[in-house]
Structure 1
Protein backbone atom coordinates (compact mmCIF):
# COMPACT_ATOMS: atom_id res chain seq x y z
CA UNK A 1 0.00 0.00 0.00
CA UNK A 2 1.12 3.54 -0.75
CA UNK A 3 2.09 5.53 2.36
CA UNK A 4 1.30 9.13 1.45
CA UNK A 5 3.22 10.45 4.42
CA UNK A 6 6.46 8.88 3.22
CA UNK A 7 6.44 9.58 -0.52
CA UNK A 8 7.33 12.98 -1.96
CA UNK A 9 5.29 12.73 -5.18
CA UNK A 10 2.90 10.62 -7.25
CA UNK A 11 3.80 10.14 -10.91
CA UNK A 12 0.47 9.62 -12.68
CA UNK A 13 1.98 8.51 -16.00
CA UNK A 14 4.51 5.68 -16.39
CA UNK A 15 4.69 2.85 -18.90
CA UNK A 16 5.11 -0.88 -18.33
CA UNK A 17 7.31 -2.43 -21.02
CA UNK A 18 7.82 -6.12 -21.71
CA UNK A 19 11.12 -7.41 -20.33
CA UNK A 20 13.71 -7.11 -23.09
CA UNK A 21 14.58 -10.48 -24.60
CA UNK A 22 11.40 -12.20 -23.45
CA UNK A 23 9.47 -11.67 -26.67
CA UNK A 24 10.02 -12.17 -30.38
CA UNK A 25 10.43 -8.70 -31.90
CA UNK A 26 7.23 -7.76 -33.74
CA UNK A 27 8.44 -4.25 -34.60
CA UNK A 28 7.96 -2.73 -31.17
CA UNK A 29 11.69 -2.73 -30.44
CA UNK A 30 12.30 -0.34 -33.34
CA UNK A 31 9.67 2.05 -32.01
CA UNK A 32 11.19 1.91 -28.53
CA UNK A 33 14.72 2.50 -29.81
CA UNK A 34 13.64 5.45 -31.94
CA UNK A 35 11.73 6.99 -29.04
CA UNK A 36 14.68 6.54 -26.70
CA UNK A 37 16.90 8.49 -29.10
CA UNK A 38 14.27 11.23 -29.45
CA UNK A 39 13.95 11.64 -25.67
CA UNK A 40 17.63 10.92 -24.91
CA UNK A 41 16.48 8.28 -22.46
CA UNK A 42 19.26 7.00 -20.15
CA UNK A 43 18.88 3.26 -20.77
CA UNK A 44 19.91 0.70 -23.36
CA UNK A 45 16.97 -1.65 -22.82
CA UNK A 46 13.49 -0.72 -21.57
CA UNK A 47 13.25 -1.30 -17.82
CA UNK A 48 11.13 -4.14 -16.44
CA UNK A 49 8.39 -3.51 -13.89
CA UNK A 50 10.61 -4.63 -10.96
CA UNK A 51 13.37 -2.33 -12.24
CA UNK A 52 10.84 0.50 -12.52
CA UNK A 53 9.68 -0.13 -8.96
CA UNK A 54 13.26 -0.10 -7.67
CA UNK A 55 13.96 3.19 -9.44
CA UNK A 56 10.87 4.91 -8.05
CA UNK A 57 11.43 3.45 -4.59
CA UNK A 58 14.92 4.92 -4.56
CA UNK A 59 13.44 8.28 -5.58
CA UNK A 60 10.74 8.03 -2.88
CA UNK A 61 8.04 8.49 -5.52
CA UNK A 62 4.87 6.46 -6.13
CA UNK A 63 3.74 5.85 -9.70
CA UNK A 64 0.72 4.83 -11.72
CA UNK A 65 1.92 2.29 -14.31
CA UNK A 66 0.16 0.80 -17.33
CA UNK A 67 0.71 -1.04 -20.63
CA UNK A 68 -0.78 0.15 -23.93
CA UNK A 69 -3.03 -2.22 -25.85
CA UNK A 70 -2.92 -1.16 -29.51
CA UNK A 71 -2.74 -4.54 -31.24
CA UNK A 72 -5.29 -3.88 -33.99
CA UNK A 73 -3.78 -0.64 -35.25
CA UNK A 74 -0.05 -1.30 -34.74
CA UNK A 75 0.38 -5.06 -34.91
CA UNK A 76 2.37 -4.94 -31.65
CA UNK A 77 1.28 -7.63 -29.25
CA UNK A 78 0.08 -6.18 -26.00
CA UNK A 79 1.64 -6.64 -22.60
CA UNK A 80 -1.11 -8.57 -20.78
CA UNK A 81 -2.97 -6.59 -18.13
CA UNK A 82 -2.93 -9.66 -15.90
CA UNK A 83 0.86 -9.97 -16.15
CA UNK A 84 1.28 -6.30 -15.29
CA UNK A 85 -1.07 -6.60 -12.31
CA UNK A 86 0.79 -9.64 -10.99
CA UNK A 87 4.15 -7.86 -11.11
CA UNK A 88 2.78 -4.63 -9.66
CA UNK A 89 1.20 -6.52 -6.78
CA UNK A 90 4.69 -7.46 -5.62
CA UNK A 91 5.66 -3.77 -5.65
CA UNK A 92 2.50 -2.11 -4.37
CA UNK A 93 4.43 0.07 -1.93
CA UNK A 94 5.31 2.32 -4.90
CA UNK A 95 3.28 1.19 -7.93
CA UNK A 96 -0.43 1.55 -8.72
CA UNK A 97 -1.68 -0.48 -11.72
CA UNK A 98 -3.87 0.91 -14.48
CA UNK A 99 -4.99 -1.35 -17.34
CA UNK A 100 -5.26 -0.76 -21.08
CA UNK A 101 -7.87 -2.23 -23.43
CA UNK A 102 -8.13 -1.35 -27.10
CA UNK A 103 -11.72 -0.08 -27.48
CA UNK A 104 -11.90 -1.79 -30.88
CA UNK A 105 -12.16 -5.09 -28.96
CA UNK A 106 -15.83 -4.35 -28.37
CA UNK A 107 -17.75 -6.70 -26.08
CA UNK A 108 -14.62 -8.71 -25.37
CA UNK A 109 -12.92 -5.58 -24.08
CA UNK A 110 -15.94 -4.62 -21.99
CA UNK A 111 -15.94 -8.03 -20.31
CA UNK A 112 -12.23 -7.79 -19.63
CA UNK A 113 -12.58 -4.31 -18.12
CA UNK A 114 -15.34 -5.43 -15.79
CA UNK A 115 -13.28 -8.43 -14.67
CA UNK A 116 -10.16 -6.37 -14.04
CA UNK A 117 -12.10 -3.86 -11.98
CA UNK A 118 -14.20 -6.31 -9.98
CA UNK A 119 -11.56 -9.01 -9.46
CA UNK A 120 -8.40 -6.92 -9.22
CA UNK A 121 -9.53 -3.48 -8.09
CA UNK A 122 -8.12 -1.65 -11.14
CA UNK A 123 -8.69 2.10 -10.68
CA UNK A 124 -8.00 3.39 -14.17
CA UNK A 125 -7.45 2.65 -17.85
CA UNK A 126 -5.03 4.13 -20.38
CA UNK A 127 -6.27 5.05 -23.87
CA UNK A 128 -3.94 6.08 -26.69
CA UNK A 129 -6.09 7.34 -29.59
CA UNK A 130 -3.06 7.90 -31.84
CA UNK A 131 -1.73 4.35 -31.38
CA UNK A 132 -5.17 2.72 -31.17
CA UNK A 133 -6.50 4.57 -34.21
CA UNK A 134 -9.79 5.96 -32.92
CA UNK A 135 -11.47 9.22 -32.02
CA UNK A 136 -12.29 9.30 -28.31
CA UNK A 137 -15.90 10.25 -29.05
CA UNK A 138 -16.48 7.28 -31.38
CA UNK A 139 -19.62 5.54 -30.07
CA UNK A 140 -17.99 2.15 -30.48
CA UNK A 141 -15.93 2.99 -27.35
CA UNK A 142 -18.91 4.08 -25.25
CA UNK A 143 -19.78 0.65 -23.75
CA UNK A 144 -16.24 0.54 -22.35
CA UNK A 145 -16.56 4.04 -20.88
CA UNK A 146 -19.87 3.03 -19.32
CA UNK A 147 -18.14 0.29 -17.29
CA UNK A 148 -15.46 2.71 -16.16
CA UNK A 149 -17.97 5.35 -15.10
CA UNK A 150 -20.10 2.77 -13.30
CA UNK A 151 -17.12 1.77 -11.15
CA UNK A 152 -15.66 5.23 -10.56
CA UNK A 153 -12.54 4.57 -12.63
CA UNK A 154 -10.16 7.03 -14.29
CA UNK A 155 -9.87 7.22 -18.09
CA UNK A 156 -6.43 8.56 -19.05
CA UNK A 157 -6.20 9.68 -22.68
CA UNK A 158 -3.02 10.43 -24.60
CA UNK A 159 -3.32 13.87 -26.22
CA UNK A 160 -1.21 15.88 -28.64
CA UNK A 161 2.13 14.99 -30.16
CA UNK A 162 4.81 13.90 -27.70
CA UNK A 163 7.32 12.22 -29.98
CA UNK A 164 5.83 8.74 -30.33
CA UNK A 165 6.71 7.62 -33.86
CA UNK A 166 8.54 10.87 -34.57
CA UNK A 167 11.10 10.50 -37.37
CA UNK A 168 9.89 7.07 -38.46
CA UNK A 169 8.52 6.62 -42.00
CA UNK A 170 4.99 7.96 -42.00
CA UNK A 171 5.30 8.60 -38.29
CA UNK A 172 5.08 4.83 -37.88
CA UNK A 173 1.57 5.03 -39.31
CA UNK A 174 0.29 7.11 -36.38
CA UNK A 175 -2.26 9.80 -37.17
CA UNK A 176 -2.03 12.81 -34.87
CA UNK A 177 -5.62 13.91 -35.52
CA UNK A 178 -7.01 11.25 -33.18
CA UNK A 179 -5.44 12.86 -30.11
CA UNK A 180 -6.95 16.34 -30.31
CA UNK A 181 -8.34 16.89 -26.77
CA UNK A 182 -11.57 18.37 -28.14
CA UNK A 183 -12.76 14.82 -28.86
CA UNK A 184 -12.50 14.07 -25.13
CA UNK A 185 -14.85 17.01 -24.50
CA UNK A 186 -17.69 14.94 -25.98
CA UNK A 187 -16.75 12.07 -23.66
CA UNK A 188 -16.83 14.44 -20.67
CA UNK A 189 -20.33 15.60 -21.67
CA UNK A 190 -21.71 12.11 -22.30
CA UNK A 191 -20.07 10.62 -19.18
CA UNK A 192 -20.14 13.42 -16.60
CA UNK A 193 -19.16 11.12 -13.73
CA UNK A 194 -16.18 9.59 -15.56
CA UNK A 195 -12.87 10.95 -14.26
CA UNK A 196 -10.86 11.93 -17.35
CA UNK A 197 -7.17 12.85 -17.57
CA UNK A 198 -5.82 14.58 -20.67
CA UNK A 199 -2.25 13.34 -20.75
CA UNK A 200 0.65 15.61 -21.73
CA UNK A 201 0.91 19.23 -22.75
CA UNK A 202 -1.35 18.85 -25.77
CA UNK A 203 0.80 20.26 -28.56
CA UNK A 204 -0.45 21.69 -30.89
CA UNK A 205 -3.81 21.90 -29.07
CA UNK A 206 -2.74 23.27 -25.70
CA UNK A 207 -5.47 25.87 -25.44
CA UNK A 208 -8.14 23.34 -26.38
CA UNK A 209 -7.00 21.09 -23.52
CA UNK A 210 -7.03 23.97 -21.05
CA UNK A 211 -10.51 24.97 -22.17
CA UNK A 212 -11.88 21.45 -21.75
CA UNK A 213 -10.31 21.00 -18.30
CA UNK A 214 -11.58 24.40 -17.16
CA UNK A 215 -15.10 23.84 -18.51
CA UNK A 216 -15.71 20.23 -17.45
CA UNK A 217 -15.47 19.41 -13.72
CA UNK A 218 -14.51 15.79 -14.43
CA UNK A 219 -11.48 16.59 -16.65
CA UNK A 220 -7.86 16.86 -15.45
CA UNK A 221 -4.49 17.38 -17.16
CA UNK A 222 -1.25 15.50 -16.55
CA UNK A 223 2.05 17.17 -17.34
CA UNK A 224 3.94 14.13 -18.64
CA UNK A 225 5.92 13.63 -21.82
CA UNK A 226 7.63 17.03 -21.82
CA UNK A 227 10.35 18.53 -19.71
CA UNK A 228 8.73 21.37 -17.73
CA UNK A 229 11.28 23.81 -19.14
CA UNK A 230 9.42 23.53 -22.46
CA UNK A 231 5.93 24.14 -21.04
CA UNK A 232 4.08 26.92 -22.89
CA UNK A 233 3.53 30.05 -20.83
CA UNK A 234 -0.25 29.69 -20.91
CA UNK A 235 -0.02 26.21 -19.35
CA UNK A 236 2.10 27.55 -16.48
CA UNK A 237 -0.38 30.40 -15.99
CA UNK A 238 -3.32 27.99 -15.72
CA UNK A 239 -1.37 25.72 -13.36
CA UNK A 240 -0.89 28.72 -11.11
CA UNK A 241 -4.53 29.74 -11.16
CA UNK A 242 -7.83 28.19 -12.19
CA UNK A 243 -6.48 24.65 -12.82
CA UNK A 244 -4.24 24.42 -9.75
CA UNK A 245 -6.36 21.55 -8.35
CA UNK A 246 -6.64 19.77 -11.71
CA UNK A 247 -3.06 19.39 -12.97
CA UNK A 248 -0.97 16.32 -12.12
CA UNK A 249 2.71 15.42 -12.13
CA UNK A 250 3.58 12.78 -14.71
CA UNK A 251 6.95 11.88 -16.20
CA UNK A 252 6.23 9.45 -19.09
CA UNK A 253 8.80 6.99 -17.74
CA UNK A 254 10.86 5.35 -19.10
CA UNK A 255 11.40 8.04 -21.75
CA UNK A 256 11.70 10.77 -19.12
CA UNK A 257 12.91 9.95 -15.61
CA UNK A 258 10.99 11.42 -12.68
CA UNK A 259 14.13 13.02 -11.25
CA UNK A 260 14.85 14.80 -14.54
CA UNK A 261 11.26 16.06 -14.70
CA UNK A 262 11.27 17.22 -11.07
CA UNK A 263 14.61 19.02 -11.45
CA UNK A 264 13.25 20.97 -14.41
CA UNK A 265 9.98 21.61 -12.56
CA UNK A 266 11.96 23.26 -9.76
CA UNK A 267 13.13 25.90 -12.23
CA UNK A 268 9.79 27.06 -13.64
CA UNK A 269 7.52 29.74 -12.20
CA UNK A 270 5.02 27.63 -10.26
CA UNK A 271 3.90 29.19 -6.98
CA UNK A 272 5.36 27.44 -3.94
CA UNK A 273 1.99 26.85 -2.27
CA UNK A 274 0.68 25.09 -5.40
CA UNK A 275 3.57 22.66 -5.89
CA UNK A 276 2.45 20.06 -3.29
CA UNK A 277 -0.94 19.72 -4.99
CA UNK A 278 0.57 19.26 -8.46
CA UNK A 279 3.23 16.83 -7.28
CA UNK A 280 1.14 14.68 -4.97
CA UNK A 281 -2.18 15.74 -3.51
CA UNK A 282 -4.20 16.29 -6.69
CA UNK A 283 -3.38 12.73 -7.78
CA UNK A 284 -4.02 11.36 -4.28
CA UNK A 285 -7.50 12.87 -4.26
CA UNK A 286 -8.27 11.70 -7.81
CA UNK A 287 -7.15 8.14 -7.02
CA UNK A 288 -9.06 8.01 -3.74
CA UNK A 289 -5.95 7.71 -1.60
CA UNK A 290 -7.21 10.40 0.80
Structure 2
Protein backbone atom coordinates (compact mmCIF):
# COMPACT_ATOMS: atom_id res chain seq x y z
CA UNK A 1 0.00 0.00 0.00
CA UNK A 2 1.34 3.42 -0.98
CA UNK A 3 1.64 5.80 1.99
CA UNK A 4 -0.66 8.64 1.04
CA UNK A 5 -1.17 11.62 3.32
CA UNK A 6 -4.18 11.28 5.62
CA UNK A 7 -6.39 13.89 7.33
CA UNK A 8 -8.65 12.10 9.83
CA UNK A 9 -11.68 14.34 10.42
CA UNK A 10 -13.58 12.07 12.84
CA UNK A 11 -11.86 10.97 16.06
CA UNK A 12 -13.63 10.79 19.41
CA UNK A 13 -11.06 11.75 22.04
CA UNK A 14 -12.30 11.44 25.60
CA UNK A 15 -9.75 9.63 27.78
CA UNK A 16 -9.69 10.01 31.52
CA UNK A 17 -7.19 12.63 32.66
CA UNK A 18 -4.83 9.98 34.00
CA UNK A 19 -4.85 8.23 30.61
CA UNK A 20 -4.23 11.39 28.56
CA UNK A 21 -0.49 10.90 27.93
CA UNK A 22 -0.98 7.28 26.87
CA UNK A 23 -3.81 8.23 24.50
CA UNK A 24 -1.69 10.96 22.91
CA UNK A 25 1.19 8.53 22.53
CA UNK A 26 -1.09 6.05 20.75
CA UNK A 27 -2.40 8.75 18.40
CA UNK A 28 1.14 9.73 17.46
CA UNK A 29 1.99 6.09 16.82
CA UNK A 30 -1.06 5.90 14.52
CA UNK A 31 0.10 9.10 12.83
CA UNK A 32 3.61 7.79 12.18
CA UNK A 33 2.45 4.36 11.06
CA UNK A 34 -0.16 5.65 8.60
CA UNK A 35 1.16 9.09 7.57
CA UNK A 36 -1.72 10.87 9.31
CA UNK A 37 -0.81 14.54 9.00
CA UNK A 38 -3.83 16.05 10.78
CA UNK A 39 -6.44 14.74 13.21
CA UNK A 40 -9.73 16.31 14.30
CA UNK A 41 -10.53 15.46 17.91
CA UNK A 42 -14.12 15.45 19.18
CA UNK A 43 -14.82 15.99 22.85
CA UNK A 44 -17.56 14.48 24.95
CA UNK A 45 -20.48 16.77 25.68
CA UNK A 46 -19.30 19.28 28.27
CA UNK A 47 -15.78 17.81 28.45
CA UNK A 48 -13.91 19.98 25.99
CA UNK A 49 -10.91 20.64 28.21
CA UNK A 50 -9.12 17.40 27.34
CA UNK A 51 -9.35 18.12 23.60
CA UNK A 52 -8.25 21.71 24.19
CA UNK A 53 -5.19 20.44 26.03
CA UNK A 54 -4.26 18.25 23.05
CA UNK A 55 -4.52 20.86 20.30
CA UNK A 56 -2.76 23.51 22.37
CA UNK A 57 0.05 21.12 23.20
CA UNK A 58 0.37 19.87 19.60
CA UNK A 59 -1.19 22.51 17.30
CA UNK A 60 0.60 21.13 14.25
CA UNK A 61 -1.16 17.78 14.64
CA UNK A 62 -4.60 18.28 16.21
CA UNK A 63 -7.74 20.30 15.47
CA UNK A 64 -10.44 20.56 18.13
CA UNK A 65 -14.21 20.16 17.81
CA UNK A 66 -16.54 21.30 20.55
CA UNK A 67 -19.70 19.31 21.24
CA UNK A 68 -22.41 21.86 22.04
CA UNK A 69 -25.93 21.01 23.12
CA UNK A 70 -28.02 22.96 20.61
CA UNK A 71 -31.14 22.44 22.72
CA UNK A 72 -29.73 23.81 25.99
CA UNK A 73 -26.76 26.06 25.17
CA UNK A 74 -26.88 29.66 24.03
CA UNK A 75 -25.40 30.35 20.58
CA UNK A 76 -22.70 32.59 22.07
CA UNK A 77 -21.02 29.51 23.52
CA UNK A 78 -19.73 28.94 19.99
CA UNK A 79 -17.80 32.19 20.01
CA UNK A 80 -16.38 31.50 23.46
CA UNK A 81 -14.92 28.19 22.33
CA UNK A 82 -13.70 29.69 19.06
CA UNK A 83 -11.71 32.22 21.07
CA UNK A 84 -10.13 29.31 22.94
CA UNK A 85 -8.92 27.83 19.65
CA UNK A 86 -11.60 25.32 18.64
CA UNK A 87 -12.07 25.13 14.86
CA UNK A 88 -15.18 22.97 14.56
CA UNK A 89 -18.42 21.68 16.07
CA UNK A 90 -19.82 18.17 16.35
CA UNK A 91 -23.62 18.08 16.19
CA UNK A 92 -25.61 14.95 17.07
CA UNK A 93 -28.70 13.83 19.01
CA UNK A 94 -30.68 17.04 18.68
CA UNK A 95 -34.28 17.12 19.89
CA UNK A 96 -35.43 18.80 16.69
CA UNK A 97 -34.58 18.28 13.05
CA UNK A 98 -31.17 19.69 12.18
CA UNK A 99 -32.75 22.37 9.99
CA UNK A 100 -35.15 23.64 12.65
CA UNK A 101 -34.95 27.48 12.74
CA UNK A 102 -34.28 27.22 16.50
CA UNK A 103 -30.72 26.20 15.62
CA UNK A 104 -30.08 28.84 12.96
CA UNK A 105 -28.29 31.22 15.33
CA UNK A 106 -25.68 28.53 15.99
CA UNK A 107 -25.16 27.98 12.28
CA UNK A 108 -25.04 31.69 11.55
CA UNK A 109 -22.35 32.26 14.15
CA UNK A 110 -20.30 29.26 12.99
CA UNK A 111 -20.49 30.58 9.43
CA UNK A 112 -19.32 34.04 10.52
CA UNK A 113 -16.41 32.58 12.49
CA UNK A 114 -15.36 30.18 9.73
CA UNK A 115 -15.94 27.10 11.90
CA UNK A 116 -16.64 23.69 10.38
CA UNK A 117 -19.64 21.65 11.55
CA UNK A 118 -19.48 17.86 11.55
CA UNK A 119 -23.04 16.49 11.65
CA UNK A 120 -23.86 12.90 12.44
CA UNK A 121 -26.13 11.82 9.59
CA UNK A 122 -28.16 8.65 9.41
CA UNK A 123 -29.10 5.92 11.84
CA UNK A 124 -27.68 5.86 15.37
CA UNK A 125 -26.45 2.48 16.54
CA UNK A 126 -27.73 0.81 19.68
CA UNK A 127 -26.55 -1.49 22.44
CA UNK A 128 -27.32 -4.70 20.52
CA UNK A 129 -26.91 -5.64 16.87
CA UNK A 130 -29.92 -7.75 15.89
CA UNK A 131 -28.44 -8.64 12.49
CA UNK A 132 -25.17 -10.03 13.84
CA UNK A 133 -26.81 -11.14 17.10
CA UNK A 134 -24.12 -9.59 19.29
CA UNK A 135 -23.50 -6.68 21.62
CA UNK A 136 -22.61 -3.46 19.86
CA UNK A 137 -19.23 -1.78 20.29
CA UNK A 138 -21.25 1.14 21.62
CA UNK A 139 -21.57 -0.70 24.92
CA UNK A 140 -17.84 -0.43 25.58
CA UNK A 141 -17.63 3.09 24.21
CA UNK A 142 -20.29 4.33 26.64
CA UNK A 143 -18.60 2.93 29.76
CA UNK A 144 -17.54 5.72 32.05
CA UNK A 145 -19.38 8.37 30.05
CA UNK A 146 -22.41 10.40 31.02
CA UNK A 147 -25.21 8.15 32.24
CA UNK A 148 -28.90 8.84 31.95
CA UNK A 149 -30.19 9.89 35.34
CA UNK A 150 -33.79 9.11 34.45
CA UNK A 151 -34.20 6.19 32.08
CA UNK A 152 -37.99 6.59 32.12
CA UNK A 153 -37.80 10.05 30.59
CA UNK A 154 -38.96 10.01 27.00
CA UNK A 155 -36.19 10.93 24.59
CA UNK A 156 -36.97 13.43 21.85
CA UNK A 157 -33.89 12.67 19.77
CA UNK A 158 -33.65 9.82 17.29
CA UNK A 159 -32.18 9.02 13.89
CA UNK A 160 -35.22 10.74 12.36
CA UNK A 161 -33.87 14.11 13.55
CA UNK A 162 -30.50 13.61 11.84
CA UNK A 163 -31.19 12.88 8.18
CA UNK A 164 -28.82 14.29 5.59
CA UNK A 165 -31.67 16.02 3.73
CA UNK A 166 -31.82 18.57 6.57
CA UNK A 167 -28.32 19.74 5.66
CA UNK A 168 -29.72 20.98 2.36
CA UNK A 169 -31.85 23.58 4.16
CA UNK A 170 -28.83 24.67 6.18
CA UNK A 171 -26.59 24.88 3.11
CA UNK A 172 -29.12 27.04 1.27
CA UNK A 173 -29.55 29.43 4.20
CA UNK A 174 -25.85 29.53 5.14
CA UNK A 175 -23.96 29.07 1.87
CA UNK A 176 -20.54 29.86 3.34
CA UNK A 177 -20.89 27.44 6.25
CA UNK A 178 -18.56 24.47 5.78
CA UNK A 179 -20.29 21.23 6.73
CA UNK A 180 -19.35 17.56 6.85
CA UNK A 181 -22.05 14.92 7.11
CA UNK A 182 -20.75 11.75 8.75
CA UNK A 183 -21.19 8.26 7.28
CA UNK A 184 -22.53 9.58 3.93
CA UNK A 185 -25.94 9.65 5.62
CA UNK A 186 -26.13 5.89 6.22
CA UNK A 187 -28.31 4.40 4.78
CA UNK A 188 -29.66 7.32 2.70
CA UNK A 189 -26.60 7.45 0.47
CA UNK A 190 -28.30 8.63 -2.71
CA UNK A 191 -29.90 11.56 -0.93
CA UNK A 192 -26.52 12.57 0.49
CA UNK A 193 -24.83 12.29 -2.89
CA UNK A 194 -27.51 14.40 -4.55
CA UNK A 195 -27.25 17.20 -1.99
CA UNK A 196 -23.44 17.27 -2.10
CA UNK A 197 -23.62 17.56 -5.88
CA UNK A 198 -25.32 20.94 -5.68
CA UNK A 199 -24.15 22.54 -2.42
CA UNK A 200 -20.66 24.03 -2.61
CA UNK A 201 -19.58 23.73 1.02
CA UNK A 202 -21.25 20.44 1.92
CA UNK A 203 -19.04 17.34 2.17
CA UNK A 204 -19.50 13.85 3.60
CA UNK A 205 -17.10 11.59 5.44
CA UNK A 206 -16.80 7.86 4.79
CA UNK A 207 -16.56 6.76 8.42
CA UNK A 208 -18.83 4.02 9.68
CA UNK A 209 -16.75 0.87 9.51
CA UNK A 210 -17.18 -2.15 7.29
CA UNK A 211 -20.91 -1.66 6.73
CA UNK A 212 -20.69 1.86 5.31
CA UNK A 213 -17.58 0.97 3.29
CA UNK A 214 -19.27 -2.07 1.77
CA UNK A 215 -22.41 -0.10 0.91
CA UNK A 216 -20.45 2.71 -0.75
CA UNK A 217 -18.21 0.37 -2.74
CA UNK A 218 -20.95 -2.06 -3.81
CA UNK A 219 -23.31 0.84 -4.55
CA UNK A 220 -20.82 2.33 -7.00
CA UNK A 221 -21.55 5.87 -5.78
CA UNK A 222 -18.08 7.40 -6.09
CA UNK A 223 -17.55 9.28 -9.36
CA UNK A 224 -21.01 8.18 -10.47
CA UNK A 225 -23.23 9.89 -7.91
CA UNK A 226 -20.71 11.86 -5.84
CA UNK A 227 -17.40 13.47 -6.79
CA UNK A 228 -14.16 12.44 -5.12
CA UNK A 229 -13.88 16.15 -4.36
CA UNK A 230 -16.83 15.91 -1.98
CA UNK A 231 -15.66 13.08 0.28
CA UNK A 232 -13.35 13.19 3.28
CA UNK A 233 -11.81 10.48 5.43
CA UNK A 234 -12.64 9.71 9.05
CA UNK A 235 -12.09 6.66 11.21
CA UNK A 236 -14.65 7.13 14.03
CA UNK A 237 -13.33 4.09 15.88
CA UNK A 238 -10.97 3.08 18.66
CA UNK A 239 -7.30 3.96 18.15
CA UNK A 240 -6.22 0.34 17.70
CA UNK A 241 -8.60 -0.06 14.75
CA UNK A 242 -7.63 3.14 12.93
CA UNK A 243 -4.77 1.71 10.80
CA UNK A 244 -6.95 -1.08 9.39
CA UNK A 245 -9.64 1.48 8.50
CA UNK A 246 -7.12 3.29 6.28
CA UNK A 247 -5.83 0.07 4.73
CA UNK A 248 -9.32 -1.28 4.02
CA UNK A 249 -10.44 1.96 2.41
CA UNK A 250 -7.32 2.27 0.29
CA UNK A 251 -7.67 -1.20 -1.21
CA UNK A 252 -11.43 -0.84 -1.62
CA UNK A 253 -11.01 2.43 -3.51
CA UNK A 254 -8.30 0.92 -5.70
CA UNK A 255 -10.61 -2.02 -6.41
CA UNK A 256 -13.21 0.30 -7.97
CA UNK A 257 -10.63 1.95 -10.20
CA UNK A 258 -9.63 5.07 -8.29
CA UNK A 259 -6.10 6.32 -8.84
CA UNK A 260 -3.84 7.23 -5.95
CA UNK A 261 -4.30 10.90 -6.81
CA UNK A 262 -8.08 10.55 -6.42
CA UNK A 263 -7.74 8.56 -3.21
CA UNK A 264 -5.45 11.18 -1.71
CA UNK A 265 -8.11 13.82 -2.36
CA UNK A 266 -10.45 11.81 -0.15
CA UNK A 267 -7.77 10.90 2.37
CA UNK A 268 -6.22 14.35 2.73
CA UNK A 269 -6.62 17.21 0.29
CA UNK A 270 -10.38 17.79 0.53
CA UNK A 271 -10.20 18.15 4.31
CA UNK A 272 -7.13 20.35 4.01
CA UNK A 273 -9.19 22.63 1.78
CA UNK A 274 -12.11 22.69 4.21
CA UNK A 275 -9.87 23.65 7.13
CA UNK A 276 -7.72 26.06 5.13
CA UNK A 277 -4.49 24.09 5.40
CA UNK A 278 -1.82 25.51 3.12
CA UNK A 279 -1.05 22.48 0.95
CA UNK A 280 -4.64 21.81 -0.14
CA UNK A 281 -5.26 21.28 -3.85
The TM-score with structure 2 as length reference comes to 0.77
Counterpart selection for 1:16 from 13, 16, 36: 13
Q: How does 1:83-94 map to 2 (within 5 A)?
A: 83-94=50-61
Distance 1:86 1:280, change over 3 A: same
Flag the 1:165–1:181 CA change in 2: closer, same or farther, 3 A: farther
**How many angstroms does 1:106 deviate by?**
3.8
Q: Show CA shifts across 1:189-219 (max 9, x none).
A: 1111111111113222111111111121111
CA distance in 2, matches of 1:111, 1:280: 31
Counterparts of 1:133 and 1:256 in 2: how far apart (Å)? 33
Q: Note the alpha carbon deviations across 1:69-102, whole angstroms, 9 max, x for none.
A: 2xxxxxxxx32x2332123322333221111111
Choose the corresponding residue for 2:77, options 98, 105, 112. 112
In structure 2, which of residues 39, 57, 74 is the aligned counterpart of residue 63 of structure 1?
Answer: 39
Aligned twin of 2:146: none
**Among 100, 108, 131, which residue is 2:67 paired with?**
100
How many angstroms apart in 1 are the aligned matches of 2:64 and 2:91? 14
Task: Tell me the SS of whatever aligns to 1:105.
Answer: coil
Q: Which moved more, 1:92-101 or 1:278-287?
A: 92-101
- The CA distance in 2 between the partners of 1:204 and 1:182, in whole Å, is 12
1:128-168: CA deviations, max 9, x gaps? Answer: 1xx33331011221111111000111111001125354548
Matched, 1:178 2:161: yes
Alignment counterpart, residue 189 of structure 2, candidates 168, 190, 206: 206
| Displaced runs of 4 or more, over 6 A | 45-48
Inter-partner Cα distance in structure 2 for 1:182 and 1:47: 40
Please give the secondary structure, in 2, of the residue aligned with 1:200.
helix
Counterpart-to-counterpart distance in 1, 2:244 and 2:71: 35
Q: Aligned residue for 2:89?
A: 125
Q: Separation in 2 of the partners of 1:113 and 1:67?
A: 14
Alpha-carbon distance in 2 for matches of 1:149, 1:92: 22
More displaced 10-residue stretch of structure 1: 208-217 or 221-230: 221-230
Q: 1:254 to 1:276 in 2, by over 3 A?
A: same
Question: 1:139 and 1:256 mapped to 2: Cα distance?
Answer: 40
The superposition leaves residues 91-129 of structure 1 with CA deviations (integer Å, 9 ceiling, x where unpaired) of 33322111111111242xx22210111x2232211101x
Deviation at 1:176, TM superposition (A): 1.5
5+ long unaligned stretches in structure 2: 130-134, 140-150
Give, in angstroms, the shift of residue 288 of structure 1. Answer: 0.3
What is aligned with 1:137?
A: 99
Deviates more, 1:148-157 or 1:46-55: 46-55
User: Matched residues in 2 for 1:102 and 1:270: separation?
Assistant: 41
Task: Please give the alpha-carbon distance, in whole angstroms, between the structure 1 residues aligned to 2:39 and 2:235.
Answer: 9
Preserved CA contact (<8 Å) 1:17 1:49: no
